[in-house]
Structure 1
Amino acid sequence: MFRSILMKLENPKRPLLGPNVYALEFWGLLLPENMFKRYFYLSMHVLVTIFTATEYVDVWFVKSDMSHLLNNLKITMLATMSVCKVTTFLYWQKRWRSIIEYITKSDLNRRKTNDMTKKNMIDNYTKYCRKITYFYWSLMYTTVIIVMVTPIFKYLFSSAYRSNLDDGTEKYLQVVSSWVPFDKNTLVGYLAASAFQSYAAIYGGGWITSFDTNAMVIMVSFRAELELLRIDCANIFSEEGRIVSDKVCNERLRECHKRHVELVKYSRMFDECLSPIMLLYMFVCSVMLCVTAYQITIETSAMQRFLTTEYLVFGVAQLFIYCWHSNEVLYASQNLRWGPYESVWWTKDVSYRKDLFILIAQYNRIVAFSAGPFTQLTVATFISILKGAYSYYTLLSQSQNVISDSAQT
């Protein structure tokens, strides 16, 4: 049954991006042509954006409670990232459509090959894209479900919590901390607020999963194109150990050059769309990881520690997957220049060697993705973010210890 559901997400016209484009359309990031559906999705986006604004309002009311404040900031910053992703995706809708169409077109062309080595590579990275997509979806919605069921779980299994609610010494645990224009400490108000918060959590999760997995698969596609292009460069002058004709050599030279020019063009367009988001992502993840790590140390409930740890794992995985795939593209781009040297270039005359030198010069244009104008998106950058988050965590812990010691004295 589960397999049949996944098969419905496949699209023979988009063998690589099928499930990803389906998710983008389902959650309204790729707006439909139908005007009614278009305005429906836009209204859904506006509602979640308004909800994110109410989270910021709620910060003011919980600023005196460190535990609630940190929990609010953690969720609010993630929601802000979701809003920024969707806003930029809608603003650069034509660019994203162009990138998706380029990826689809190049992928379909790659699949026409009869080379078994290439076929195996294509099958492997397609399976990898499916695994990373479904893993990310599972991780995200595990987090969303945990956030939604935590209040129910606490109410059902904590008699002390129910008793405190009855005598008014404790307030209802919210799905997501947010401000509402009515009293959410009454049962009716709490249920109404929880319904809106659950909607925002589910829809925000859809935004994150569809945007992130689409970006990750596009990165994998760029890496695959670079690796396959290196193989084609190595075979410019020969095929199965035989030297090919001059006409075929010229066609292959032109094709390799054309493919790389297109790849550089669309990779830069992709970086222009993603780079501002990744710059904000780095800052948000640094703060979010710091806050989550600190919450784990101050939580007394084993269940709350587990839930917070799961959130921390999601935050780390979210950033790592971006940095890892960007790092893979960078190294594949750097290694591409070796492709022409792996050909039997010494069997050709000087004119072909000059053409090959021009091709190598073209390949010196490295494909790399960045986080704003400051740094490239690599594993080294990911490690630096973790170090920064740990530094913030240490500073926060020490400042709270100082405040506690001062209060005791």
Structure 2
Amino acid sequence: MLKNIFQKLENPKRPLLGPNVKALQFWGLLLPKNAWLKYFYILMHILVTVFTATECIDVWFVKSDINLLLNNLKITMLATMSVTKVTTFLFWQKYWISIIEYVTKADLNQRKTTDEKKLELLSGFTKYCRKITYLYWSLMYTTVIIVMVQPIFKYVSSETYRLNVKNGTDTYLQVVSSWVPWNKNKMVGYLAASVYQSYAAIYGGGWITSFDTNSMVIMVFFRAELELLRIDSKDIFGTESKQVEHDVAIKRLKDCHRRHVELVKFARLFDSCLSPIMLLYMFVCSVMLCVTAYQITIETDPMQRFLTTEYLVFGVAQLFIYCWHSNDVLFASEDLMRGPYESIWWTKSVKYHKDLYILVAQFNKTVVFSAGPFTMLTVATFINILKGAYSYYTLLSQSQMK
């Protein structure tokens, strides 16, 4: 069954980005041409954005209870992050479309090769992209399901909680803490609020998964293209036993130069679209990790602690995957310059050396993604964020002990 579902997500015209583009279209990040459908998606986006605003409003009403405040804070910041992603994606849609089309075109051109080594490399990267896409989707919706089921589970499993709710000493546990203009402590009002909160959780989850997996797969593409460029630049002059003619060598050299110029251009465009979001992401994840870690230490209910731990794992995984893949692109970019030197350049005359030097100078341009103007997106940065989150956690713990 799952195999059939995955097969339907594939698109022969987009062998690398097939499932990711379909997810972007399904959740309305890539707006359709049909006017009615387009306005429908815009309405859906507005409803979730309004819901996020109600979460922010609710912070004021729960500020006196540290547990409710922290719980609201971690969800609200993640929701604000999702709204920012979608808003920027919609405003910069033409840039995202141009990036997606470039990735698709370049990927299709590479798949025309008969070189088994390159085909094996492409196949490996494609399988890897499917794994991270489907695993990330699974992790996200496991989190969404847990958030939605948590109030029901607590109501069914805890007799004390049920009695407290009935006699008015406790309130209904919300799916997501948010403000509503009616009494959500009455059953009818609570159910109405829960429906809206569940809708926002599901749709927000769709936003996160479609945006993040698309960005991650594009990062993987840049790494793959850099590795393929290294292979091609190594083979510019053929091999010692089978050297190519002058025209073929010049054509290969020009092709490698053109491809790298194009890659750098779209990598910078991709970074300009992603960098502001990643800067906000770093701040949000630092606070979210700190808050979630603190909740785990103060929580006494084993099930609640497990659910909070799962949320922490999701928060760490989100940022780590971005940093890991950006780190891979950085190393592939730095290794690329070795390609021309791995060719049989020493068998060629000086006029070839000059052309090869121009190519090496082009390859010397580093490709890496950033989080605003402050830092590169690397594993070292991720570790620093964890250290910062731990420092915030320590401060929060000590302040509550006083």
Question: TM-score with structure 1 length normalisation?
Answer: 0.98
- Counterpart code for 1:307: L
User: Which residue in 1 is equivalent to 2:390?
Assistant: 390
Cα distance in structure 2, aligned partners of 1:153 and 1:60: 27
Within 5 Å, give how 1:338-377 maps onto structure 2.
338-377=338-377
1:118 equivalent to 2:137? Answer: no
1:259 Cα deviation (Å)?
0.1
User: Which residue in 1 is equivalent to 2:207?
Assistant: 207
- Counterpart code for 1:339: G
- Note the alpha carbon deviations across 1:190-242, whole angstroms, 9 max, x for none: 00000000000000000000000000000000000000000000000015841
Cα distance in structure 1, aligned partners of 2:240 and 2:152: 65
Distance 1:354 1:152, change over 3 A: same
* 8 A contact 2:148–2:198 mirrored in 1: yes
> Per the alignment, in what secondary structure is the counterpart of residue 325 of structure 2?
helix
Cα distance in structure 1, aligned partners of 2:283 and 2:61: 24
Cα distance in structure 2, aligned partners of 1:153 and 1:259: 55
User: Which residue in 1 is equivalent to 2:237?
Assistant: 237
- Counterpart code for 1:283: F
Within 5 Å, give how 1:304-323 maps onto structure 2.
304-323=304-323
Cα distance in structure 1, aligned partners of 2:166 and 2:145: 26
- Counterpart code for 1:148: M
> Per the alignment, in what secondary structure is the counterpart of residue 49 of structure 2?
helix
- Counterpart code for 2:120: N
1:331 equivalent to 2:331? Answer: yes
1:189 Cα deviation (Å)?
0.2
- Counterpart code for 1:267: A
1:76 equivalent to 2:105? Answer: no
Distance 1:243 1:142, change over 3 A: same
1:144 Cα deviation (Å)?
0.2
User: Which residue in 2 is equivalent to 1:47?
Assistant: 47
- Counterpart code for 1:218: I
1:168 equivalent to 2:179? Answer: no
Cα distance in structure 2, aligned partners of 1:57 and 1:88: 23
User: Which residue in 2 is equivalent to 1:407?
Assistant: none
Distance 1:190 1:230, change over 3 A: same
Cα distance in structure 2, aligned partners of 1:358 and 1:340: 11
Cα distance in structure 2, aligned partners of 1:213 and 1:342: 34
User: Which residue in 2 is equivalent to 1:86?
Assistant: 86
Cα distance in structure 1, aligned partners of 2:294 and 2:108: 48
1:225 equivalent to 2:225? Answer: yes
RMSD: 0.6
1:244 Cα deviation (Å)?
0.3
> Per the alignment, in what secondary structure is the counterpart of residue 226 of structure 1?
helix
1:344 Cα deviation (Å)?
0.1
- Note the alpha carbon deviations across 1:89-125, whole angstroms, 9 max, x for none: 0000000000000000000001011111111100000
> Per the alignment, in what secondary structure is the counterpart of residue 287 of structure 2?
helix
- Note the alpha carbon deviations across 1:161-207, whole angstroms, 9 max, x for none: 11111111100000000000000000000000000000000000000
Distance 1:13 1:295, change over 3 A: same
User: Which residue in 2 is equivalent to 1:181?
Assistant: 181
> Per the alignment, in what secondary structure is the counterpart of residue 30 of structure 2?
coil
Cα distance in structure 1, aligned partners of 2:212 and 2:303: 29
Distance 1:332 1:121, change over 3 A: same
User: Which residue in 2 is equivalent to 1:20?
Assistant: 20
User: Which residue in 2 is equivalent to 1:105?
Assistant: 105
1:65 equivalent to 2:65? Answer: yes
1:287 equivalent to 2:287? Answer: yes
Cα distance in structure 2, aligned partners of 1:348 and 1:244: 11
Cα distance in structure 2, aligned partners of 1:237 and 1:296: 60
Cα distance in structure 2, aligned partners of 1:240 and 1:182: 80
- Range moving further from structure 2, 370-379 or 236-245: 236-245
Cα distance in structure 2, aligned partners of 1:241 and 1:179: 74
- Counterpart code for 1:126: T
Gaps of 5+ in 1: 403-409
- Counterpart code for 1:378: T
- Counterpart code for 1:335: D
User: Which residue in 2 is equivalent to 1:273?
Assistant: 273
Cα distance in structure 1, aligned partners of 2:241 and 2:327: 33
Cα distance in structure 1, aligned partners of 2:37 and 2:264: 35
* 8 A contact 2:240–2:344 mirrored in 1: no
Distance 1:240 1:152, change over 3 A: farther
Distance 1:193 1:240, change over 3 A: farther
1:255 equivalent to 2:252? Answer: no
User: Which residue in 1 is equivalent to 2:192?
Assistant: 192
% identical aligned pairs: 75
User: Which residue in 2 is equivalent to 1:405?
Assistant: none
> Per the alignment, in what secondary structure is the counterpart of residue 183 of structure 2?
coil
1:137 Cα deviation (Å)?
0.1
Moved over 4 A (4+): none
User: Which residue in 2 is equivalent to 1:137?
Assistant: 137
Cα distance in structure 2, aligned partners of 1:217 and 1:294: 33
- Counterpart code for 1:373: P
Cα distance in structure 1, aligned partners of 2:241 and 2:285: 51
Cα distance in structure 2, aligned partners of 1:262 and 1:398: 52
Aligned pairs, number: 402
User: Which residue in 1 is equivalent to 2:302?
Assistant: 302
